[in-house]
Structure 1
């Protein structure tokens, strides 16, 4: 019986499942205590708010697993918004062309981060703090304090249009498809195994034949591209391109990645936990907003969750290790004759 229960305990005790259960618990409590949480409209707003965070969190998960980080993602989003607005004002009226140019811009911005980190051997934390300020500054150079808001209504309405018969925006399907791609790469390919190896010991991974620098470079390119995609969605959702779009969003992305069980030191984590953490943050923030909790308090809660996301998995790991050692050292009963 104990042998049958052990796998169930391992599953229920995993951090991913704990975060998923937290989503269910918060949603359930909110539905009974806060008016509006149980409504379809509430879940629509949760999905719309979570979409850009989730899009950026997908590649960010892979970056953090390798032991790096990208704090410039919100500034890439903001610069993408302003460039999209400026291109529209300049006469680029094809939405597919605008999206393609924005994604190309995001890839170039990510490549700049990757070049400094892998080409010059600089720490990603310092590099992306610098480009966080640089890209945001460039966004103000492009548009200044102006806002571009005269996009065609069919563009803005289609970006947030629901799946027929539901209130959930159809962009969730795009997110789901991208999540499957990233999950397969991370959990079912040699590339994913190489990412975990790099996070645990980059030098050992290099000796094992992994091209650490090139792999990390392309991860930063992916992060920039996905941030640009989030910028396109942000612009169309709010029908406004401004230089301050997405300010502070990097905090929510990093909080989701770490709260989802990805180790800040690299080498550990899974996409399921990260997506569950994105949902948890979205449900919690929107529920508290319905409860008229001040915005400053929401920021404090996000910061507290960020700290908990770093401490929680480590404490859980220590407790599991102690239990394992106790079981291994516990005396076994000898049968009596």
Structure 2
């Protein structure tokens, strides 16, 4: 007698939102908010907003167009040099020679202009000099295998010394007025918006896309986290670092040209100690000194925050010595605070639950004793 086949009744699957649709329970937006609040650049962005609002309300003349123009021009060179510095520090390296490269570029421009070289040609020569200086740093770090900290401390003194060889104690201040005035000119006639601010915004967007939206940018984070693992995945660690140092030299040289035309003079002691502010802005912006972490948004926020604090203190009549102390304290805080937060989170993290005991492993009670048959 034929037997009817069994019918399997399948329980209806629970309601589930299609993939990509917002979670009706609201947990996904909450998770995104928590992720946003826990990002390394969030504190500096929040501090920047609070600083700008507080200084605008309580510091006289801070929110005027003339002071904003002064603030932008005062941080322009720092912002330019901070962009490639961000990429370098993410790979767990550092370049402390940027301010000396700026000074040597300024001295080179002064010597060329005194020699009768057209200023348009002199600008390109300065950029080529900056590329050579950065490539020299990259060669010592990548080919010779020397630590970037020691290398760039040495080239910081070397490049500054070469600037003194070119100019000595004298200054060159005979640049064309249209070039000097054009550097400080407002963009489209808007007071408080010099054209260099627009250039920095465009460069920041370009560096942001390069770092966060390209395979090259992702390789920088891989190098900073573990350069050996990055090498096994096909990343050319040496060439990547070499071109980053070269890029840093080119941008620092461009910042030197801007600095020279902004102030209308070339001196060997130009931007002395400015590398401290560049590093402070990068670390304040959430880039880890150990590499592998960072963002362009955080660094640019750190640049503006550091400049706004210094500008507000200057309006209060604080001396330059105190401003240097404040910069040092901010630098120390930007290094120490993320480490303290990471250690606190590690201590508060719950201990991992013990895994299940494998079924094949005999329990102590059932294990045979010596001399007993299993």
Separation of aligned partners in 1, 2:84 and 2:263: 24
Tell me the residue number matched to 2:370: none
Tell me the residue number matched to 1:104: 128
Tell me the residue number matched to 2:12: none
Alignment equivalent of 2:144, drawn from 114, 117, 120:
120
Structure with the greater alpha carbon radius of gyration: 2
Separation of aligned partners in 2, 1:115 and 1:327: 46
| Structure 1 runs not aligned, ≥5 long | 330-337
Matches within 5 A, 1:34-183: 34-93=59-118, 95-167=119-191, 168-183=193-208
| 2:335 maps to 1:313 | no
* Worse-superposed segment, 38-47 or 309-318: 309-318
Separation of aligned partners in 2, 1:200 and 1:42: 41
Alpha-carbon offset, residue 321 of structure 1: 4.6
Alpha-carbon offset, residue 29 of structure 1: 1.6
SS at match of 1:236: helix
| 2:265 maps to 1:240 | yes
Alpha-carbon offset, residue 316 of structure 1: 2.9
Alpha-carbon offset, residue 10 of structure 1: 2.3
Separation of aligned partners in 2, 1:44 and 1:143: 30
Residues 4-24 of structure 1, C-alpha deviation per residue, up to 9 Å, x if partnerless?
333223213322122111111
Tell me the residue number matched to 1:186: 211
TM-score (normalised: structure 1): 0.94
Separation of aligned partners in 2, 1:233 and 1:184: 24
Separation of aligned partners in 2, 1:171 and 1:104: 21
Work out which structure has the larger RCO, using CA pairs closer than 8 Å and 6 or more positions apart in sequence: 1
Alpha-carbon offset, residue 31 of structure 1: 1.9
Q: Which has the higher helix share?
A: 1
Alignment equivalent of 2:225, drawn from 196, 200, 210:
200
Alignment equivalent of 2:289, drawn from 264, 270, 284:
264
Count residues in correspondence.
327
Alignment equivalent of 1:221, drawn from 235, 246, 249:
246
TM-score (normalised: structure 2): 0.84
| Structure 2 runs not aligned, ≥5 long | 1-24, 354-374
Two-structure CA RMSD over aligned residues (Å): 1.5
SS at match of 1:147: coil
